[in-house]
Amino acid sequence: MKIAVPTRENVVDDHFGHCAYYTLFTVDDDKNITNIETLPSPQGCGCKSNIASVLKEKGVTVMLAGSMGDGALKVLSDQGIKVFRGCKGDVRKIAEGYLKGFILDSGIGCHHHHEGGEHQCSHHKEVD
C-alpha cells in the first residue's frame, strides 16, 4: 500500500492543490512504513492537474490531506484513491496514526474559490 500526504516543510499542507510536494509512504502487509519518498507537486490547481493519475501510477491508494475542494476529491476518488480530509501536523505522525486506525475523514471540504481559481477556506480541523 502507498499513502500520499500533501506536504510543506514536513507538515500536512492545508490545501491539497497548492502543496510544495507529496510525501509518499510505502507500507507493508504488517502496516510498517518501509519507504518514504517525495513527489514534486504540479503547478496550479490540484483538481485540474494530472496529479491524481500520477499518484495512481505510483500505487497510491490513500490520501491523507488537510483540505481540498470537491473537484479534487472527485478526481482522486475516480482514480481509486481514498481521501481522508482534516489532517494536520507532522506527515509521518499522520501516516502512522492512519495505520493505527486513528484517522477519520472530517467530511469538510473547500468550497470557496476567488476569481482566477484561488482557494479560500476558513475551516481547520485538528486530527490527533
Specify which residues 67 forms β-bridges with.
15
For all residues of the chain together, what is the average pLDDT? 81
pLDDT at 106: 67
Residue spans of the domains in the chain: they are 2-117
Supply 22's cell numbers. Answer: 507529496
**58 or 46, which is more confident?**
58
Supply 35's cell numbers. Answer: 519507504
Specify which residues 26 forms β-bridges with.
2, 35
Considering the domain delimited by 2-117, tell me its CATH architecture: 2-Layer Sandwich (3.30)
Tens-digit pLDDT profile for residues 6-34: 999 999 998 787 888 999 999 999 999 99
Which residues have a Cβ under 8 Å from the Cβ of 32 and sit 6 or more positions away?
Answer: none
**What global pTM score does this model have?**
0.80
14: nearest Cα among 101, 96, 125, 128: 125
> Span 41-61, mean pLDDT?
80
Residue 91 parent element (H or E): helix 91-99
Q: How confident is the model at residue 108 (pLDDT cuts 50, 70, 90)?
A: low
